[in-house]
């Protein structure tokens, strides 16, 4: 299969898995699976973060939350250790599943492993592509999910989350984050967190 058609086949397979998400959201009058929307937003932000991104990074970004709903957060303890175990297990499962999809459409083992490593966020800060994926995830969170997240948590926790999110991002990620329009209260909270 030629590279372009192989890439398209992989995206279609990944999106097919995203469409299995039972959680639906309404966007522009259409109800679509939550993770399908998330994947689309990730790919859109990647175009701003790294317009010349490699094929492996484009695939990893699209598979970032692959069937995340299948490992519920509530299956883990509500403390930090439980959260970290949940994130680790998610990353492993999503990486393995993405690699299987890519192998099925004809990608070689090296590409499958590279995509899996990116999804697992290996060598964050030392690997430019892993850092780009993290920047994209943080930017998607800030633009699309922070407002709803803020409704569910107290200010002290929000300040910690904003600081952690900011610290995971590169200088380029920071520049792009400053272009995101936030509600005045959320913008003030971000400014307090970063002061």
Computed over every residue of the chain, the mean pLDDT equals 94
Average pLDDT over residues 14-33: 96
Average pLDDT over residues 41-61: 97
Average pLDDT over residues 139-144: 96
Q: So where are the chain's domains?
A: 1-120, 128-195
Q: Output the pLDDT for position 55.
A: 96
Tell me, yes or no, if the pTM score tops 0.95: no
142-188 pLDDT, tens digit per residue, is: 999 999 999 999 999 999 999 999 999 999 999 999 999 999 999 99
**Residues 125, 130, 134: CA angle, nearest 5 degrees:** 85
With DSSP H G I counted as helix, E B as strand and the rest as coil, what are the percentages for the chain, rounded to 5?
70, 5, 25
CB neighbours of residue 75 within 10 Å: 10
Specify whether the CB–CB gap between 163 and 193 falls below 8 A: yes
Largest CA distance in the chain: 52
Helix segments in 19-168, DSSP class H: 34-49, 55-63, 80-104, 109-119, 128-140, 146-152, 155-168
Q: Is the pLDDT of residue 3 over 90?
A: no
> How far is 188 from 195, CA to CA, in rounded Å?
10
Average pLDDT over residues 113-118: 98
């Amino acid at each position: 299969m030629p590279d372009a058609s192989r890439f398209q086949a992989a995206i279609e397979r990944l999106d097919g898995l995203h469409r299995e998400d039972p959680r639906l959201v309404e966007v522009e009058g259409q109800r679509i699976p939550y993770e399908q929307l998330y994947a689309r937003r990730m790919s859109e932000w990647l175009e701003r973060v790294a317009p010349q991104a490699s094929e492996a990074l484009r695939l990893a970004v699209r598979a970032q939350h692959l069937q995340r709903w299948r490992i519920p957060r509530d299956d883990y303890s509500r403390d930090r250790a439980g959260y970290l175990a949940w994130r680790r297990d998610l990353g492993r499962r999503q990486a393995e599943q993405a690699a299987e999809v890519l192998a099925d459409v004809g990608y070689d083992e090296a590409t499958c492993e590279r995509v899996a490593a990116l999804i697992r966020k290996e060598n964050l800060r030392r690997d430019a592509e892993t850092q780009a994926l993290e920047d994209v995830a943080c930017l998607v969170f800030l633009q699309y999910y922070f407002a709803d997240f803020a409704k569910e948590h107290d200010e002290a926790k929000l300040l910690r989350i904003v600081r952690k999110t900011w610290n995971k991002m590169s200088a380029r990620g920071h520049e792009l984050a400053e272009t995101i329009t936030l509600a005045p209260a959320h913008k003030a909270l971000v400014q307090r967190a970063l002061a």
